[in-house]
Amino acid sequence: MSTPSRFKKDKEIIAEYESQVKEIRAQLVEQQKCLEQQTEMRVQLLQDLQDFFRKKAEIETEYSRNLEKLAERFMAKTRSTKDHQQYKKDQNLLSPVNCWYLLLNQVRRESKDHATLSDIYLNNVIMRFMQISEDSTRMFKKSKEIAFQLHEDLMKVLNELYTVMKTYHMYHAESISAESKLKEAEKQEEKQIGRSGDPVFHIRLEERHQRRSSVKKIEKMKEKRQAKYSENKLKSIKARNEYLLTLEATNASVFKYYIHDLSDLIDCCDLGYHASLNRALRTYLSAEYNLETSRHEGLDIIENAVDNLEPRSDKQRFMEMYPAAFCPPMKFEFQSHMGDEVCQVSAQQPVQAELMLRYQQLQSRLATLKIENEEVKKTTEATLQTIQDMVTIEDYDVSECFQHSRSTESVKSTVSETYLSKPSIAKRRANQQETEQFYFMKLREYLEGSNLITKLQAKHDLLQRTLGEGHRAEYMTTRPPNVPPKPQKHRKSRPRSQYNAKLFNGDLETFVKDSGQVIPLIVESCIRFINLYGLQHQGIFRVSGSQVEVNDIKNSFERGENPLADDQSNHDINSVAGVLKLYFRGLENPLFPKERFNDLISCIIFHSTAMRT
């Protein structure tokens, strides 16, 4: 009946169960260990964060102190100097001094901000981490208590399973044994009946009687065993049912623990951890972002002051600061001698002719001088522009130094290359000084000429006044009243449309090809206008016109119109000159090719030097 190779023995089943329970138990221990380890790691991380911020606070404090010392040192120095007193009296600082003060202010601001940063680290961020650490430990303890209860519950369930399984085994074993006993009784009964089936007459009466009581006995026993079997069978069924129900409950409980409760336990450990960490780190971020904003505000103030670095207003302030030195002196008055009552140039008969002659000589001399000096002036101004371009070159962007590439050392190496290799600077500076040299030479020449002109012009004008008003108008006004009518050919020569090629900031050759204008209308028109009204105008091409008007004229030309075609045009001559300058300045390829510029300049220098010797 028993086939031991097919059925597991009780012992095996128990061993299997026990090993399964042991495994679960080990897992439960392991889980607690993991949670504990996680908490330890958290506490360690929070300790590291505290140490980190404590140390960083120290660094920030030191940085702040150093910056403060720096600012104080220069503030004190500035306060002590005479210049400072002088400047402080004046509310309007010179623009470079203003920048300097703002620089010092910025350092003070940075100092304060880094002190604040340090303070926030120490009194806020670190405290938060400390509290999170406490909280984590407490949460772990509490969740450990809960875990302990859950484990106990689980163990209870597993024990119950063990008990009902054992009960089932026992009742089933009993049921099997009762069944086998019943079967044995049935067999005996069969044997008895079989024996009584033998011819009955051969048996003695006593024997028959004996046999009958034995059959009865067997029947009784069988009945008893039948009852016993039924009872045990029912018990076994109930035990099996109980076992199956408990098995189901156990599996559900185990499942619940592993799928839900474990997750809840971890959640308990985590309770508030991420959110509090979030807040602590956000406090740090808030401090850093605010530091940045404050720093940025300060830099913007400095940038604004740098934008206002302005030689013109500084010159004004400088001259106002020393009125005694820069105030023009009294005019020299005519000192009549010994009651001489004539105080004007007399042009009576004997001297009139001579004065006339002299006047004419002056006039022609002046005309020549002016033309010559105008040339010198143009060269001077062009050279000045070159210098201006040199000193306003935008070479101050250092953003490439702050590129963070992956490799650690790359930043350092780029920096060294950044501020233009030494030879390049030296060359640039040599070039600049050469241009300067030339500029000063030309300026001197120009000033000499203009001084002479001033003198002669004064005499010329006085003579003119003396001799009559005849020839004056041509030289004093920019708009002679008797301008000849200009040809109207350019007017509305093109419809209101844009050119295909770019006019401003474009390429001249492309434009000429595209528009079919051999000389661009803008050049022709501006030069005609300046030729008509501007040649005697003081400061033409030097004084800048109205930006608004310049833009108007420019836009008009870009639409293909000719805004200067009007005869009685009311454009400011300086604006027209400005448009022409703007046009040439903007050309993609300058009229004098860049690669030839230095050659041309050195050519002039050579030529001028040769002329001098």
Q: Shortest approach of its own copies to residue 100 CB, angstroms? A: 6
Q: Which of residues 351-370 bind its own copies (CB under 8 A)?
A: 351, 355
* Cα 332 to Cα 38: distance, rounded to the nearest angstrom: 98
Asked whether the beta carbons of 460 and 363 are under 8 A apart, the reply is yes
b/e code 29-63 from CB counts within 10 Å (16+ = b): eebbeebeebbeebbeebeebbeebeebbeebbeb
Distance of CA 138 to CAs 43, 129, 130, 191, 270, Å?
Answer: 11, 14, 12, 79, 11
CB nearer its own copies, residue 153 or residue 190? 153
Q: Shortest approach of its own copies to residue 224 CB, angstroms? A: 19
Q: Shortest approach of its own copies to residue 590 CB, angstroms? A: 21
C-alpha Rg value of the chain to the nearest Å: 56
Q: Shortest approach of its own copies to residue 111 CB, angstroms? A: 10
CB nearer its own copies, residue 281 or residue 501? 281
Q: Shortest approach of its own copies to residue 536 CB, angstroms? A: 17
Residue whose entry in the numeric block shows the structure tokens 């408990």: 246
* Cα 549 to Cα 553: distance, rounded to the nearest angstrom: 6
CB nearer its own copies, residue 6 or residue 202? 6
10 Å Cβ neighbour count for 140?
A: 22
* Cα 203 to Cα 552: distance, rounded to the nearest angstrom: 152
How many chain residues are in contact with its own copies, going by CB under 8 A?
210
Q: Which of residues 5-34 bind its own copies (CB under 8 A)?
A: 6-8, 10, 13, 16-17, 20, 23-24, 27, 30-31, 33-34
Q: Which residues contact 386 (CB under 8 A, 6 or more apart)?
A: 435, 601
CA proximity to 492, closest of 525, 519, 466, 533: 525
Q: Which of residues 369-398 bind its own copies (CB under 8 A)?
A: 384, 387-388, 390-398
Q: Which of 342, 476, 518, 610 binds its own copies (CB under 8 A)?
A: 342
Q: Which of residues 450-479 bind its own copies (CB under 8 A)?
A: 450-451, 454-459, 461-463
CB nearer its own copies, residue 192 or residue 236? 236
Q: Shortest approach of its own copies to residue 2 CB, angstroms? A: 7
Asked whether the beta carbons of 359 and 463 are under 8 A apart, the reply is yes
Q: Residue 77 is which amino acid? A: K
Q: Shortest approach of its own copies to residue 588 CB, angstroms? A: 24
Instruction: Provide the 3-class DSSP secondary structure of residue 35.
Output: helix
DSSP 527-551: HHHHHHHTTT-TTTTTS---HHHHH
Segment interacting with its own copies (CB under 8 A) among 64-72, 183-191, 205-213, 509-517: 64-72
Q: Which of residues 219-258 bind its own copies (CB under 8 A)?
A: 234, 237-238, 240-241, 243-256, 258
* Cα 345 to Cα 458: distance, rounded to the nearest angstrom: 13
Q: Which of 274, 479, 491, 585 binds its own copies (CB under 8 A)?
A: 274
Residue 268 in the binding site for its own copies (CB under 8 A): yes
x/- map, 473-512, its own copies, by CB under 8 A: ----------------------------------------
Q: Which of residues 525-564 bind its own copies (CB under 8 A)?
A: none
x/- map, 408-447, its own copies, by CB under 8 A: ---xx--xx-xx-----x---x---x--x---x--xx--x
x/- map, 283-322, its own copies, by CB under 8 A: xxxxxxxxxxxxxxx-x--xx--x--xxx--xx--xx--x
CA proximity to 35, closest of 24, 47, 27, 23: 27
CA proximity to 434, closest of 278, 601, 256: 601
Alpha helices for 308-348 (secondary structure H): 311-321, 323-326
CB nearer its own copies, residue 192 or residue 380? 380
Asked whether the beta carbons of 254 and 24 are under 8 A apart, the reply is yes
Q: Shortest approach of its own copies to residue 515 CB, angstroms? A: 37
- Residue 485 DSSP one-character state: P
Q: Which of residues 204-223 bind its own copies (CB under 8 A)?
A: none
Total count of residues recorded for the chain? 613
Q: Is the dihedral of CA 22, 26, 29, 35 positive or negative?
A: negative
CB nearer its own copies, residue 99 or residue 564? 99
Residue 593 in the binding site for its own copies (CB under 8 A): no
Q: Shortest approach of its own copies to residue 434 CB, angstroms? A: 13
Q: Which of residues 172-191 bind its own copies (CB under 8 A)?
A: 172-173, 176
Q: Which of residues 102-161 bind its own copies (CB under 8 A)?
A: 103-104, 107, 109, 112-113, 115-116, 119-120, 123-124, 127, 131, 138-139, 142, 145-146, 149-150, 153, 157, 161
Alpha carbon distance, N-terminus to C-terminus of the chain: 140
CB nearer its own copies, residue 67 or residue 564? 67
x/- map, 68-87, its own copies, by CB under 8 A: --x--xx--xx--x-x----
Asked whether the beta carbons of 101 and 3 are under 8 A apart, the reply is no
b/e code 432-452 from CB counts within 10 Å (16+ = b): eeebeebbebbbebbeebbee
Q: Which of residues 322-341 bind its own copies (CB under 8 A)?
A: 322, 324-332, 334-340
Residue 164 in the binding site for its own copies (CB under 8 A): no
* Cα 319 to Cα 557: distance, rounded to the nearest angstrom: 42
CB nearer its own copies, residue 272 or residue 480? 272
